[in-house]
Structure formats: C-alpha cells, structure tokens
Amino acid sequence: MQLWKGRFKKELSKTTNDFNSSISFDSRMYKEDIEGSIAHATMLGRCGIIKEEEANDIVKGLKGILADIENGTLHIDMEAEDIHTFIEGELTKRIGDNGKRLHTSRSRNDQVAVDIKLYLKKEVVNVKNLVVGLIKVIADKAEKYSETVMPGYTHLQRAQPITFGHHLLAYGEMLLRDVSRLEDCLKRMDEMPLGSCALAGTTYPIDRTITAELLGFDRITNNSLDGVSDRDYCIEFASVLSIIMVHLSRFSEEIIMWCSWEFKFIELDDAFSTGSSIMPQKKNPDIAELVRGKSGRVFGDNMTLLTIMKGTALAYNKDMQEDKEAIFDALDTVKMCLTAFTPMLDTMRVIPENMRKAAAGGFINATDCADWLTKNGVPFRDAYKATGELVARCIELGTDLESLPMDEYKKVCDVFNDDVYSAISLERCTNERTVFGGPASANVKAQAKRVAEIAEKL
Ligand code: ARG
C-alpha cells in the first residue's frame, strides 16, 4: 500500500520497495506517530476543517491502533513504506473514509519531523537520568575516597599527589556539563513543525498552537521550509552523545589501566569482568573496553548525520530518511554504555595501598620541595633548578627526596633545613593543596557533597 498511488501506472519493484522503505527502523516511533496524528486530527476538528464527528472517529480509531500494537494483537507490516503509511492505512482499513481525511493539511515531511522530535524529547530525558545516576555514584565514591592519596599524572608520568576522590570528581564535572548540554539541546528541540506541511505551509485555516499545546511543545517553528528540512536537533543530540562518549571512553581507559598488574589501583567485580578461553589467570575489563570501543560508533553516527545534511538543498530530501538509523544507534549505544558502566564503577574494589605506593615513588613531591624553598625566600626559578639537581642526585643514589640526607640538600642550596622533610611528606603535599578546586581531602568532601546535591535536584 502506497500513499502516493494516483500518478503511477506500475507497482514498485520489490527491490525498490525494500530500498525505499524505512519501516524497519522508523516503526519504533509508532506511538509518537499516533500521538501526532491524534493532535493533528483534533486540531482539524476544532478549526472546522473536518467535522468534529470525523475528528472523533479518527482519534478513536488511532487510539484503537495504539492499544492493539501495544497489546500485541496488531503487528506492524514490515512491507509498508514507513510507519506513517502503515498507521494511516490501518486507520482507513478500520474506519473507512474518515481515515482518508486525516492527512488534510499535512505531509509526511512535517509528520516525520514531529515524530522524531517527540521521540527524541523523551529520550534526551532518559539519557539525562542515566548520566545523573552515574554522577551520583561518582559523588558517593569521591566522598568515600576523599583521603585516598594517589599520583596525579601528566603525560602518564607521575606528576603531583592528588586524592582518588578528586580524580573521580573530575569526571563528575564533565558529566554535569553533559547534563547541561542535554538540557540545552532539549530546549532548542522543543519547537513543533506540524503545519509546515510539505514545505510551503497550507491554505487551510489551521491553528498550529493547538497542535503544539496538545503535543506538549514549548513553541512552533517559524519557517515552513526550516520546519521540514531542519535536522539540527538530531545532529546536536548526536554531538552531545558523542561528548558523553568521549568522557566515558577516557574514564574507561583509566579503569583499564588501573586494573592492570602494573597499576592495580582497583579491581572490578567479577560480575563486570570476563576471562580468557586459554589463559586461566586472566580477568579482563571487557565492559570498559567495549565502552571505549563503542565511542567510535557514536562518533560515526554523528559524522553520518552531518554528512547526510551537508549537501541537501531546501527543503525535504529523501536523504533525510537516513537520519533515524544514525541517531537511534547513537542513542541506543549511549544508553547501553551508561547502563553497564554505572554499576561497574559502583562495584569496583579500590586498593588504596597500591595507589599510595605509586604516589610514594616518582618524586611527585618535587614541586612541593621547590615551593618550600620559594616560601623560604628563594625565587621559584632558582628553587626549581635546585630541586631538579636534588632529584638527579636521588636517582644517582637510588633514593628519594624523603630519605636524602640533609648534607646533600645543603650542597645544592644552603637555605634547606630539616623542616623540608615534613613539608614534602605525601600527607602535607596533598592536604595543603586547599586552593578552591584542589585535591585536599577537605575540598574533596565539600565538592562531593556539592555534586551529590546538584545531582539530587537534576
Ligand atoms: N520515511 C520518510 C522519512 O523518514 C518519511 C517522509 C517521506 N516524505 C517524502 N516526501 N517521501 O524521511
């Protein structure tokens, strides 16, 4: 069954039909398609474009279709061209001629746009809730490990001491930005395109604000060409999803490293690890690796959407039917990743002794040693150089700054005295970093509380 019969003398070939059809991926929007049609029919009735009884008949028929799809008695026909065609065809089958009045002053072009927006508006909120769930776990762990000293890295070289809670809260910040991006994207998406019709609006005296209100949109689109040809909301959502995946992927990479015997900062729960078919000793962080890998998929979907849109003249072009597989795949992937990632993080076992051991090596208190000199009157650049010489001397002697004898310190700079030893202890190096945004445990506790409170209200 095609909606566009009259002009054509031949049937579509089977291969063309299959090639042209989008039902295999747009059938998931059946509910939104029906909601949109109910609102449209109601508006047509209220505006006197069709009779109230006709509108009621259509609405009743559509509600019946929805109920039957949901209770499993009506199967969506995968031979139909798309979900819009299927529902309209089914409606006419059920209620006869009144079903044929539904498409008055409407095109599939504005219909598909409203369907996608209705569908994605709900999903943006679902993704947001999943992100918030992860933020809560992070805040909880950050509070728990606010005193756990670990090395902070740059270039993957031990750099300066931080706390594990501080490290986790960095991801909390990224994810809070993701939530605000999702909220932003939702605001821009909240514009109702119905009434744009094919591209040029309509001569019928419709009232678009009625439809917008019935469908819960904030406002209506301002330009009919833009209303049907805009897919910014797909691109923007996919971009936000891509950024979420960047964050999950970086986090995954660290989890993978931390699980290795080289680090052993954490151990994942058995329920979130897998073994090897040949190496009996293996416990692999597959979930984290898959999340890292799946980020590529989401970036690909984002690029697909950009590429689909970049060369299409206004207004609708069939290229745009390709939007759905890309945005749905990105959406499904991100939801799946978050659903696996959050409990994996929640159940990990942290091994503070190993973090501390790593923090004790690698001269991560060298900056603090230079800072001690500076606080005792030596210009920072000279203090930096002197400390560099001390580190070189430690490497020669196979020792660390804490154990290097005072006469070695004095050889490099006679300002040094025994007070330096306590100033470069790991505890003080960490806990004196009380600058706002820093890793001292008091700061981390306060930040963990702040993040948890924000998340609670999201
Ligand atoms: N299945 C189409 C899509 O997803 C619906 C719009 C069809 N419009 C048209 N003029 N062929 O984009």
- Is residue 81 a contact partner of residue 20, using CB atoms and an 8 Å limit? yes
Neighbours of 381 (CB within 10 A): 10
Q: Which atom of ligand 1 is nearest to the CA of 81?
A: 1
Q: Which of 12, 318, 319, 325 to mutate to test the pocket of ligand 1 (most atoms within 8 A of CB)?
A: 318
Amino acid at site 101: R
Give the three-class secondary structure for 266.
strand
pLDDT at residue number 25: 97
- Is residue 294 a contact partner of residue 333, using CB atoms and an 8 Å limit? yes
Amino acid at site 197: C
Amino acid at site 333: T
- Is residue 196 a contact partner of residue 228, using CB atoms and an 8 Å limit? yes
Residues serving a catalytic function are 155, 276
How many whole angstroms separate alpha carbon 82 and alpha carbon 154? 52
Any ligand 1 atom below 6 A from CB of 112 = yes
Domains and CATH numbers, the chain: 14-104 (1.10.275.10), 109-147+162-195+223-354 (1.20.200.10), 358-441 (1.10.40.30)
Any ligand 1 atom below 6 A from CB of 167 = no
Q: How far is the CA of 111 from the centre of ligand 1 (A)?
A: 9
How many whole angstroms separate alpha carbon 244 and alpha carbon 295? 9
Q: Is the ipTM of this complex over 0.90?
A: yes
Q: How far is the CA of 34 from the centre of ligand 1 (A)?
A: 16
pLDDT at residue number 12: 81
- Is residue 349 a contact partner of residue 269, using CB atoms and an 8 Å limit? yes
| Alpha carbon distances (Å) from 357 to 151, 162, 364, 396 | 9, 13, 12, 21
Dihedral angle, C-alpha 210, 216, 222, 227, nearest 10 °: -110
- Is residue 90 a contact partner of residue 37, using CB atoms and an 8 Å limit? no
Q: How far is the CA of 220 from the centre of ligand 1 (A)?
A: 21
How many whole angstroms separate alpha carbon 200 and alpha carbon 211? 18
| Count of alpha carbons within 13 angstroms of residue 140, beta-carbon side | 14
Any ligand 1 atom below 6 A from CB of 316 = yes
pLDDT at residue number 43: 98
Q: Which of 20, 28, 82 to mutate to test the pocket of ligand 1 (most atoms within 8 A of CB)?
A: 82
Q: Find the distance separating the first CA and the last CA of the chain, reported in whole Å.
A: 46
| Atom 12, ligand 1: residue with shortest CA distance | 321
Q: Which of 24, 29, 109, 317 to mutate to test the pocket of ligand 1 (most atoms within 8 A of CB)?
A: 109
pLDDT at residue number 4: 73
Q: How far is the CA of 86 from the centre of ligand 1 (A)?
A: 13
How many whole angstroms separate alpha carbon 386 and alpha carbon 416? 10
- Is residue 109 a contact partner of residue 228, using CB atoms and an 8 Å limit? yes
Any ligand 1 atom below 6 A from CB of 323 = no
Compute CA 156 distance to the chain's CA centroid, rounded to the nearest angstrom.
26
Q: How far is the CA of 27 from the centre of ligand 1 (A)?
A: 13
pLDDT at residue number 277: 81
From 92, 113, 127, select the one nearest 5 (Cα to Cα). Answer: 92
Neighbours of 226 (CB within 10 A): 16
Any ligand 1 atom below 6 A from CB of 108 = yes
Looking at 284-409, which runs of residues are DSSP E strands? 349-350
pLDDT at residue number 6: 78
Give the three-class secondary structure for 150.
strand
User: What's phi and psi for 112, nearest 5 deg?
Assistant: -65, -35
| Atom 7, ligand 1: residue with shortest CA distance | 108
What is the mean pLDDT for each group of 10 consecutive residues in the chain (458 residues)?
Answer: 77 88 97 98 98 98 98 96 97 97 97 98 98 98 97 95 97 98 98 98 98 98 98 98 98 97 95 84 91 98 98 96 98 98 98 95 93 96 96 95 95 96 92 94 97 97
pLDDT at residue number 237: 98
Q: How far is the CA of 83 from the centre of ligand 1 (A)?
A: 10
How many whole angstroms separate alpha carbon 1 and alpha carbon 203? 28
pLDDT at residue number 40: 98
Q: How far is the CA of 20 from the centre of ligand 1 (A)?
A: 9
User: What's phi and psi for 158, nearest 5 deg?
Assistant: -55, 130
How many whole angstroms separate alpha carbon 326 and alpha carbon 235? 10
Report the predicted TM-score, pTM, of the whole model to 2 decimal places.
0.94
Q: Which of 321, 323, 327, 328 to mutate to test the pocket of ligand 1 (most atoms within 8 A of CB)?
A: 321
